Each structure stands twice: as C-alpha cells, then as structure tokens.
Structure 1
Amino acid sequence: MLVVENLSVSYKAIKALVNLSCRVEKGEIVALIGANGAGKTTTLNTISGIFPAAAGSVVFEDEDITRVPPHEIVKRGICQVPEGRRVFAKMSVLENLEMGAYIRSDRKGIAEEMDRIFHLFPRLAERRKQLAKTLSGGEQQMLAMGRALMSQPRLLLLDEPSMGLAPMLVEKIFEIIQEINKAGTTIMLVEQNAHMALSIAHRAYVLETGEVVLQGPAKELAENPEVRKAYLGE
C-alpha cells in the first residue's frame, strides 16, 4: 500500500532522515519506534507532504506522492493525527469532526461516519456541543482521531497517541486503534511507548538518527535483547 524508498530529509544543516526505506501492507498496523529525535515524526510529516523530501520517494497505492501537497494527500486517502492532538480549541466537538470531513460533499455519508465515530468514542457523543479546549487530554486524543477518520482514510498515520495520557486511558486508546484497524483502516503508528506499540503492531521499524537500524515482525522485535534494553527498559 505504501512504499517509502531512500527517503532523506534535512532541516538546514541537520539531516533528519537518511536513506530511510519502509513499507506498509494493506490491513497492517506498522509501528515506528525509537528515541526522541530518531526521525519518527519527520517520517510521518514527509509522507503527509508537510515536510519536503530532499531525496527518495513516497509511493501510495502505486502513485508517487512525494511532491503532492498535503491537502491533496488527504484526498488520496492518507490522513495524519498529529503529535499533541492539535484540535481546534475554540470549536465544538461536532465542529472539529465536521472539519475532518472538509474534502467530502456526501452529506448522507458524512452523517453515517459521524454516527460511527460516536459509536467508537461514546465520550465524544456525550460532549458533542462542548468546546474542544474543555476536554481532557484523553478526550482530545479521541477527538483528533475521530476528526481524521471523518475523511475516510485508507491509511491513518498516528503520531504519539499515548503522549501525556494516564495508563488506563493509554490502554483504551490502543484498544480503539485495534478496532479501527479491524474495521479496515491500515495504520502507521509512531509511539514513544514501545511496549504498547509492539503489542498491537504486525510489523515494526526501529529508527536511530534518521535511519532504520532494525525491522521485522513486532513480536520478534519485542523479544530482541537490543530492543528490550534500549526501548522496553529491560
């Protein structure tokens, strides 16, 4: 579904990604793990068209999208849930979700999708008229995910969904990620909590200073002594 080949990204003199290659098959959850500054978020932002690639290519469903602008990438079927949630604070839950459907014009389909989001996140249904800024961190994360799903992405990019959340909420968010995947959405997940990421992913890539240093089935990586020592605190 997604093939990233020899991707390089620089911020002025700093090389953020160096010849990074990875792939995502349809129906998978693929995790990117690594320390802060490893290039995980940069990878997602480059796939989304937010950061320009200095070299390499991003191919989605056999189409080269390396130079396609972000709003067009959303139309192609890729949507990103950004790190830090970034909901529209002064808009209601309902308005935030409607913003997620800005590329769509099928009113009936939008209404059906909204119902699906409220079924997936009952807490949002209860707070549909509240301003986003009044929600808890966990509720804002649910809203950011719901907003992205309103565009009906075939590939959902999730950047640090557990950041700043209480352990109980982290488990709930990861359960919902699995539900979204089982319902047919392919997922690429960037996550600081390597243990949780590897527990739900099918495959994973370990990044260090902008390069892939390890890759393979998530269960195998979770048993890898280097990974356990560096990222699982064992």
Structure 2
Amino acid sequence: MLKIDKINVYYGAIHAIKGISLEVNQGQIVTLIGANGAGKSTILRTISGLLKPKDGSIHFEGKSIAGIPAQNIVKLGVSQVPEGRRVFADMTVLENLELGAYVRSDKKGIQEDMETVFQRFPRLKERVAQLAGTLSGGEQQMLAMGRALMSRPRLLLLDEPSMGLAPLLVKEIFSIIKDINATGTTILLVEQNANMALSIANQAYVLETGRITLAGSAKELAASEEVRKAYLGG
C-alpha cells in the first residue's frame, strides 16, 4: 500500500532522514519506534506532504506522492493525527470533526461517518458543542483521531497517540487503534511507548538518528534483546 524507497529529508542543513526505505502492506499496523529526535515524526510529515524529500520515492497504492501538496494526499486516502493532537482550540468538537471532512462533498457519507466517530468515542458526542481547547488531553486525542477519520482514510498516520496520557487512557486509545484497524484502515504508528506499539503491530521498524537499524515482525522485535534493552526497559 505504501512504499518508501531511499528517501533523504533535510531541515535546512540538518540531514534528518538518511536513505530510509520501508513498506506498509494493506490491512497492517506497522510501527516506527525509536528515541526522541530519531526522525519518526519527520517520516510521517514527509508521507503526508508537509515536508518534501530531497530525493528517493514515496508511492501510495502505486502512485507517486512525494512532493504532492498535503491536501491532495488527504484526497488520495492518507490522513495524519499529528503529534500533540493539534485540535482547533477555539472551535467546537463538531466543527473540528466537520473540518476533517473538508475534502468530501458526500453529505450522507459524512453524516454516517460522524455517527461512527460518536459510537467509537462516546465522550465526543457528550461534548459536541464544547470548545476543543477545554477538553482533557485524552479527549483531545480522541478528537484528533476522530477528525482524521472523517476524511475516510485508507491509511491512517498516527504520531505519538499516547503522549502525555494516563496509563488507563493509553490502554483505551490503543484498543481503539486496534478497532480502527480491524474495520479495514491500515495504520502507520509512530510511538515512544514501544511496549504498547509492538503489542498491537504486525511489522516494526527501529529508527536511530535518521536511519532504520532493525526491521521485522513486531513479535521478533519485541523478543530481540537489543530492542528490549534500548526501548522496553529490560
């Protein structure tokens, strides 16, 4: 579904991503794990069109998307839940969700997806008229995920969904991610909580200073002594 081949990405003079290649197959949950500053978020931002690779290729469902404007990538079926949630604080829950569907014009489908989001996140329905900036961190994460789902993506990019959340909420969010995947959405997950990420993923990549140092099934990486020492607290 997604194939990245030897991309290099720079922030000015800083070489952030160094010749990375990776693949995401349809129906999978693939996770990128690594320390802060390893380049995980940069990869997602490059896929979603917010950054442009200097060279290399990115193909989504066989179509080259490197350098395409971000809104066109959303139209193709790729949606991102950004790190730090980035909800529109001065807009209501409903308005945030409606904005998630801005590339669509099928009113009936939008209404159906809105109902699905409310079934998945009942707390959002209770707070539908509330300003997004007044929600708790966990509720904002749910809203950011709901907003991304409103574009009806086939590939969902999740950037640090557990960041800053209480352990109980982290479990809830990861349970929802599994549910979203089970209903047919492919997921590329960037996550510092390596234990949780590897527990739900099919495939995994370890990123260190802009390079992939390990790749394999999530089970293999969870069992790897190297990964356990570096990321799993053992």
The answer, yes or no, to whether TM exceeds 0.5 is yes
CA drift of 1:67 comes to: 1.6
Structure 1 residues 1-234: aligned runs within 5 Å = 1-234=1-234
CA drift of 1:12 comes to: 1.7
1:4-47 CA-partner distances (Å, limit 9, x unpaired): 00010011221100000000000000000000111100000000
In 1, distance between residues paired with 2:14 and 2:107? 45
SS of alignment partner, residue 51 of structure 1: coil
In 2, distance between residues paired with 1:161 and 1:11? 24
SS of alignment partner, residue 66 of structure 1: coil
Q: Could you tell me which amino acid in structure 1 is paired with residue 42 of structure 2?
A: T
Q: Could you tell me which amino acid in structure 1 is paired with residue 183 of structure 2?
A: A
In 2, distance between residues paired with 1:15 and 1:233? 29
In 1, distance between residues paired with 2:225 and 2:46? 31
In 2, distance between residues paired with 1:80 and 1:99? 13
In 1, distance between residues paired with 2:199 and 2:106? 37
CA drift of 1:141 comes to: 0.1
In 2, distance between residues paired with 1:81 and 1:11? 21
TM-score of the pair, normalised by structure 1: 0.99
Aligned residues: 234
Detail structure 1 runs of 4+ shifted over 3 Å in the superposition. Answer: none
CA drift of 1:128 comes to: 0.5
TM-score of the pair, normalised by structure 2: 0.99
1:82-104 CA-partner distances (Å, limit 9, x unpaired): 00000000100000000000001
In 1, distance between residues paired with 2:129 and 2:37? 38
Q: Could you tell me which amino acid in structure 2 is paired with residue 38 of structure 1?
A: A
List gaps (5 residues or longer) in structure 2: none
Q: Could you tell me which amino acid in structure 2 is paired with residue 15 of structure 1?
A: H
CA drift of 1:192 comes to: 0.4
Q: Could you tell me which amino acid in structure 2 is paired with residue 206 of structure 1?
A: V
List gaps (5 residues or longer) in structure 1: none
